[in-house]
């Protein structure tokens, strides 16, 4: 196991204290956040998440139609939004998704496909958040994590749909449910704060539920606040640009609206990535001590009370994991069996790794012995002087 994950770092009582927020420390947090972009893992992640946000938007609109039907509310606001942001052909195609009727079997199949497509967004965010929390040492498992992302995707779609419905039709729902003009007026005057609060809850829930490593809510709270503010600002800028850009179709033609919307999704994706990375930067420079390697190890072990250490070694990539054949992935196992020459190459790599470890341990022991001998030599003159003084006395 790498020294990075050993709980050998000791802090003094003064170092362990939480630090107050100052402009200098906030600057350190921002520059640490910026340095994290040197990791190539984050390079194309925002584009990937933006693509999956686009895929998840259609299932979310379908949920909107079903929920609005409960309250007998029109879908006109979606039609108006599509006509104003998409081309005529694309808006007609999107509207046909809500007006077409099909057999029950096809509905089930389409619902399953839509759910699988929308879960890709939760799956990508799960990988991003877990990678960030584990300092890039988490061992991913595609099938288990993809299945685990489906219920989170369902909750996210329902939450976003409910948020949009409350924002657009909050007054109407208040009148029909509570029969109160005061409640309708209150919702109308507090639309933007309510929208921000609901999006904050959604982002915080995703940061908390999606990672394989379950950390305290307060550990991901700073990043959720930053991400929520970023999403609100990006959405406002997108609305301003869309309203004032009259010639943006000169380059992309009929696809200009889709390109503009994908760029909006791309900015939101970067905001989500930055929010998660901000949690780690904040924890380090503000000395919160909630996302240190020792704490991450403790969280993982506590998640599995019966076999915590075993699960930690299984989920976190160690320095000498290649020696443990039980940790081989499916691709490695099949390569050992069917790829000619791979078994010998793998065993040769393991022997080289074992030899490097033996050399390292021998060097560390030699250095430790030299330090001990130096300490004894430094202590001998003092002992001799004390002995001579005692003899003279």
pLDDT for 99 equals 53
Tell me the C-alpha distance between 153 and 161, whole Å. 12
For residue 379, what pLDDT band results from cuts at 50, 70 and 90? low
3-7, 26-30, 164-168, 214-218 — which is least confidently predicted?
Answer: 3-7
Total Cβ atoms within 10 A of residue 261:
18
pTM here is 0.71
pLDDT for 73 equals 56
For residue 255, what pLDDT band results from cuts at 50, 70 and 90? low
Instruction: Tell me the pLDDT tens digit for each residue of 270-300.
Output: 898 899 999 989 998 888 888 888 888 889 8
pLDDT for 289 equals 86
Q: What is the mean pLDDT of the chain?
A: 75
125 pLDDT above the threshold of 60: yes
249 pLDDT above the threshold of 80: no
Pick the more confident residue, 174 or 3. Answer: 174
136-145, 180-189, 281-290 — which is least confidently predicted?
Answer: 180-189
| Domain map (residue ranges) of the chain | 24-291, 337-392
Instruction: Tell me the pLDDT tens digit for each residue of 313-350.
Output: 878 877 667 777 777 778 888 888 888 888 888 888 88
149 pLDDT above the threshold of 70: yes
């Amino acid at each position: 196991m790498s020294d990075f994950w050993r709980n050998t770092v000791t802090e003094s009582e003064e170092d362990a204290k939480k630090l107050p927020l100052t402009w200098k420390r906030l600057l350190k947090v921002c520059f640490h956040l910026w340095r994290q972009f040197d990791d190539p893992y984050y390079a194309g992640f925002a584009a990937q998440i933006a693509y999956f946000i686009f895929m998840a938007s259609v299932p979310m609109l379908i949920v909107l139609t079903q929920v609005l039907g409960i309250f007998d509310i029109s879908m006109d606001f979606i039609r108006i939004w599509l006509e104003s942001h998409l081309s005529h052909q694309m808006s007609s195609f999107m509207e046909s998704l809500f007006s077409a009727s099909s057999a029950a079997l096809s509905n089930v199949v389409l619902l399953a496909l839509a759910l699988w497509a929308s879960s890709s967004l939760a799956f990508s965010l799960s990988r991003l958040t877990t990678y960030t929390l584990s300092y890039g040492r988490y061992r991913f498992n595609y099938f288990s994590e993809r299945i685990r992302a489906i219920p989170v995707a369902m909750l996210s779609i329902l939450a976003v749909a409910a948020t949009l419905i409350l924002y657009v039709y909050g007054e109407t729902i208040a009148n029909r449910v509570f029969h109160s003009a005061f409640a309708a007026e209150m919702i109308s005057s507090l639309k933007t704060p309510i929208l921000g609060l609901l999006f904050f809850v959604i982002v915080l829930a995703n940061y908390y539920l999606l990672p394989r490593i379950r950390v305290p809510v307060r550990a991901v709270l700073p990043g959720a606040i930053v991400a929520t503010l970023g999403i609100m600002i990006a959405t406002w800028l997108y609305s301003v640009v869309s309203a004032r850009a009259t010639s943006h179709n000169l380059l992309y033609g009929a696809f200009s609206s889709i390109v503009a919307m994908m760029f909006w999704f791309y900015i939101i994706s970067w905001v989500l990535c930055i929010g998660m990375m901000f949690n780690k930067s904040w924890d380090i420079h503000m000395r919160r001590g909630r996302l240190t390697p020792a704490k991450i190890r403790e969280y993982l072990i506590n998640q599995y009370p019966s076999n915590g250490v075993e699960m930690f070694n299984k989920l976190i990539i160690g320095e000498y994991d290649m020696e443990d054949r039980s940790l081989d992935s499916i691709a490695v196992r099949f390569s050992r069996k069917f790829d000619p020459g791979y078994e010998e190459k793998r065993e040769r790599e393991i022997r080289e790794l074992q030899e490097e470890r033996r050399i390292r341990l021998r060097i560390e022991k030699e250095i430790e012995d030299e330090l001990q001998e130096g300490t004894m030599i430094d202590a001998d003159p003092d002992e001799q002087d004390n002995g001579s003084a005692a003899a003279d006395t």
